[in-house]
Structure 1
Amino acid sequence: MTLHSDALLERMMTFHPKIIDLTLDRVWRLLAALDHPERALPPVVHIAGTNGKGSTQAMIRAGLEAGGARVHAYTSPHLARFHERIRLAGRLIDEAALSAVLDECLRANGDTPITYFEITTCAALLAFARTPADFTLLEVGLGGRLDATNVVDAPALCIITPVSIDHQQFLGETLAEIAGEKAGILKRGVPCVVGPQDDAALEVIEARAARVGAPLLIHGQHWHVTEEAGRLVYQDETGLLDLPLPNLPGPHQIQNAGAALAALRALGHGATVEAAVTSAEWPARMQRLRTGPLAQAAPQAELWLDGGHNVAAGAAIAATLDRLPKRDTHLICGMLNTKDVSGFMRPLAAHATRLHAVSIPGESATLSAAQTALAARSAGIDAQEAPDVATALASIIADTPHARVLICGSLYLAGVILRENG
């Protein structure tokens, strides 16, 4: 009898001493043992970048599905439950299908070392190969060149969203080094949509594209996107689009929408572009929390949740807060010890009345509340510690019942909140 997916996933955590160990050798070995599902996928759109991968993927999926396409989608990490990572022909994978492919991968792998992300990516590819669909959207887990998703010889399209500094311990210290890893997804003859980039990153992407013969569709050169008079205006050589603003909040979603529109046009699905910006949903990206225990505990407050955790995400959240009506804004923040915490918080200092620091439940790499509070103070934010999110919220609304409260700092913290308040 096949075990429940939770038990299978727990076993997979034990196969390799490191959580992240970038190489494709173990993935190729397992894919060969599974009879190469990566060769039997519906046309693939491969998405790399530091910020905006998930939102861009969500918009592309919304656009394709509005045109009647059946779409597989792979994303990571999950927020509330693992099933979120694998969407089969438009629906989250069900428990029976997930357990079956996980079990098959475990049997094929045996006791050979392999990371959790590698073996679960192989399981997703197996599920995708066996379920009819029109497109497969693959989001890179980390980097690109050596990411477990980088096993498709000839995708239909690649996308590189904005590259910024993150995961330096794996990808390199400089923007150019990190961009080189992201550009590792480029394939000969396969077009690539390139989102807004710093010059140092774009130079590396262009050099790699020239080397492998990949045509680029570059923001600011081949396509343009702006917000004008409360509308999204997109233009490329095919013509101009005048669309509603994205339903995903924040000015940074304009550029993500632009990349999604460029992708849809490159895929020949330009007729369904409005749905891409108006129908996409992506949790924990400036998401309003209106239900659950936290919302009930603070009925007069305005609750938001965001999983962004690097310097660029801090700037994006700050820009989003800047657009909202002025209101006393309190942050409840928990972060991992692998992040540039002060760099994330610095752009938020101008918007935050106070920050309540918490640790992230169940995460070994969490910063303590004391460490997060210290980093907040160094970024110029008045900060105090709290034992948990609920206590922090109670403290805020005791003084300011109508406060705007943003829970932020980590996708892992966002996952905890959605599991308890989804």
Structure 2
Amino acid sequence: MNDVAQTEAEQVINELMTLHPKGFDMTLGRMRRLLEVLGNPQDRLPPMIHVAGTNGKGSVSAFSRALLEAGGHAVHVHTSPHLVNWHERYRIGQRGRPGTLVDDALLADALRRVATANAGQAITVFEILTAASFLLFSEIPADAVVIEVGMGGRLDCTNVVDRPAVSVIMPISFDHQAYLGDRVELIAAEKAGIMKKGCPVVIGHQEFDAAEEVLVSTAERLGCPFSVYGQDFSAHEEFGRMIYQDEFGLADLPLPRLPGRHQLANAAAAIRAVRAAGFEVTDAMMEQAMTGVEWPGRLQRLTDGALIPLAPQGAEIWVDGGHNPGAGEVIAEAMAAFEEKQPRPLYLVTGMLNTKDPVGYFRAFADIAECVFTVPIRGSDAGLDPVVLANAAYDAGLVAEPHSTVAEALAEITARQLPGTAPPRILIGGSLYLAGNVLADNGTPPT
């Protein structure tokens, strides 16, 4: 919906953005006040899978949706941020077939009703957008709803449902330290805030023992039945297949369609979460979910579109929105695995926000990337200047140079291609906002 007339919902959102701040409030009082006026729609939702974590929560949401839809269930899904269009945040479930992005007129109506209920009081746009999801999902019948936390957990405006079917905490790393704390234990405590007394909890793979200890102790204190990756359920690759295991036994499954070894742990957490939420999960559902799952902008390979001709012929182009040190590590691991199977020079085209840790992100690529081409992020006033970002890459041990656009960076990579050499592997990443820019420019937005 870039470069075309605004939709009705976009017009409403843009009007709201002129009236209300775009940032985070990190309290629940305003959200609860608004929902009360709306009749507390959050209390009329289908069974909810609530997902928090620094990394992996979007993938788990996608796997959970794929599993439930494979069983014929209608699943509403709320994620954030969007990549290209605001409508991506709201997927409306349909029984017996995949859900679809919300109808524009339906979203515009919900947003107007929320704005009317707010009556001009202080609120953030994110709170209005989230309240609209509760309103929509409470009024359209479905079997389940998957809600992704925006930031943190305890004070995130999605954290207003008293009895979720399951709370899922994915890998915890360093991000949003200004809001969540500068120690992994503090960040874990904020994420653990989505746990509710006596409600099931699934703890995904945790890199830091200190984070896992906080999550386990919180679940124990609240009397939550909980399961931990690596103890109560697990997944690994064996002979080109994914082996999932829990107390129900072993499942021999196709590797997830989403690339990267980390997706096995994400898929495992989703299987466990859907079961913990009270749904039957069959081998047929798991098999269909692994091969059918979709999650744009997360190690997504571009195979056609407007940007492809700008890169060297035969180049691999990958887009990923990961933007913190933990994400950098798993993405770099995926790139290294690709390199083992098919050697190619790796180039990074990177844009990041000024709230992130670029040196920490780049360090993961220090031994595998030939060069970094830094670019600005269109549509954000928080993007790092490409020169500053190039200096951060240099500090991490990488060769780097700034460019003004992704297209310019791809053209430079093409100019460096020598005859007879292997076409490169190009990773465009560092920000979900940059991923959205690229998918829009390429003409391949999420659907």
Same fold (TM over 0.5): yes
The structure 2 residue matched to 1:409, chosen from 415, 430, 435, is: 430
Q: Distance in 2 between matches of 1:213 and 1:15?
A: 43
**Contact 2:310/2:414, CA 8 A, preserved across alignment:** no
For 1:19, the equivalent position in structure 2 comes to 23
The alpha-carbon deviation at position 17 of structure 1 amounts to 4.1
Does 1:135 find its partner at 2:139?
Answer: no
**Contact 2:21/2:125, CA 8 A, preserved across alignment:** no
For 1:340, the equivalent position in structure 2 comes to 357
The alpha-carbon deviation at position 133 of structure 1 amounts to 0.4
Q: After superposition, what is the alpha-carbon deviation per residue over 1:392-414, rounded to whole angstroms, capped at 9, x for unaligned? A: 10010111272211111100000
**Contact 2:22/2:125, CA 8 A, preserved across alignment:** no
Q: Distance in 1 between matches of 2:210 and 2:15?
A: 42
Q: Distance in 1 between matches of 2:429 and 2:368?
A: 14
Does 1:365 find its partner at 2:382?
Answer: yes
The alpha-carbon deviation at position 305 of structure 1 amounts to 0.5
Secondary structure of the 2:27 match is: coil
For 2:170, the equivalent position in structure 1 comes to 161
Secondary structure of the 1:353 match is: strand
The alpha-carbon deviation at position 264 of structure 1 amounts to 2.6
Does 1:212 find its partner at 2:229?
Answer: no
For 2:301, the equivalent position in structure 1 comes to 288
Does 1:105 find its partner at 2:109?
Answer: no
**Contact 2:21/2:123, CA 8 A, preserved across alignment:** no
Q: After superposition, what is the alpha-carbon deviation per residue over 1:159-208, rounded to whole angstroms, capped at 9, x for unaligned? A: 11111111101111100000000000001111111101221111111221
- AA of the residue aligned to 2:310: A
For 1:238, the equivalent position in structure 2 comes to 248
Secondary structure of the 2:43 match is: helix
The alpha-carbon deviation at position 229 of structure 1 amounts to 2.0
**Contact 2:255/2:290, CA 8 A, preserved across alignment:** yes
The alpha-carbon deviation at position 265 of structure 1 amounts to 2.6
The structure 2 residue matched to 1:126, chosen from 115, 132, 135, is: 135
Secondary structure of the 2:64 match is: helix
Number of equivalenced pairs: 420
Q: Distance in 1 between matches of 2:136 and 2:274?
A: 24
Does 1:305 find its partner at 2:294?
Answer: no
Superposed, 1:242-261 pairs within 5 Å as 242-261=252-271
Does 1:147 find its partner at 2:156?
Answer: yes
> Closer, same or farther in 2 for the Cα pair 1:307/1:18, shift >3 Å?
closer
Which 10-residue stretch deviates more, 184-193 or 401-410? 401-410
RMSD in angstroms over aligned alpha carbons? Answer: 1.2
Aligned-pair identity (%): 49
Q: Distance in 2 between matches of 1:270 and 1:374?
A: 49
Q: After superposition, what is the alpha-carbon deviation per residue over 1:83-132, rounded to whole angstroms, capped at 9, x for unaligned? A: 00001111110101000000101111121111111111000110000000
- AA of the residue aligned to 1:72: H
> Closer, same or farther in 2 for the Cα pair 1:408/1:18, shift >3 Å?
closer
Does 1:316 find its partner at 2:337?
Answer: no
Q: After superposition, what is the alpha-carbon deviation per residue over 1:360-404, rounded to whole angstroms, capped at 9, x for unaligned? A: 112111100100100001111111111110011001011127221
The alpha-carbon deviation at position 15 of structure 1 amounts to 4.1
Q: Distance in 2 between matches of 1:16 and 1:212?
A: 36
- AA of the residue aligned to 1:260: A
**Contact 1:46/1:159, CA 8 A, preserved across alignment:** yes
Secondary structure of the 1:122 match is: helix
Q: Distance in 2 between matches of 1:352 and 1:400?
A: 15
The structure 2 residue matched to 1:189, chosen from 176, 189, 198, is: 198
Q: After superposition, what is the alpha-carbon deviation per residue over 1:42-76, rounded to whole angstroms, capped at 9, x for unaligned? A: 11110111100111110111111011000000000
Q: Distance in 1 between matches of 2:182 and 2:376?
A: 27
For 1:222, the equivalent position in structure 2 comes to 232
- AA of the residue aligned to 1:304: W
For 2:4, the equivalent position in structure 1 comes to none
Q: Distance in 2 between matches of 1:38 and 1:275?
A: 30
> Closer, same or farther in 2 for the Cα pair 1:361/1:64, shift >3 Å?
same
The alpha-carbon deviation at position 137 of structure 1 amounts to 0.4
**Contact 1:301/1:397, CA 8 A, preserved across alignment:** no
The alpha-carbon deviation at position 148 of structure 1 amounts to 0.8
TM-score, structure 1 length as denominator?
0.97
Does 1:67 find its partner at 2:67?
Answer: no
The structure 1 residue matched to 2:280, chosen from 269, 285, 288, is: 269
Q: Which runs of 4+ in 1 moved over 3 A?
A: 14-18
Secondary structure of the 1:293 match is: coil
Secondary structure of the 2:258 match is: coil
**Contact 1:264/1:273, CA 8 A, preserved across alignment:** no
The alpha-carbon deviation at position 18 of structure 1 amounts to 6.0
Secondary structure of the 1:225 match is: strand
Q: Distance in 2 between matches of 1:143 and 1:54?
A: 14
Does 1:385 find its partner at 2:402?
Answer: yes
Does 1:5 find its partner at 2:9?
Answer: yes
**Contact 2:377/2:433, CA 8 A, preserved across alignment:** yes
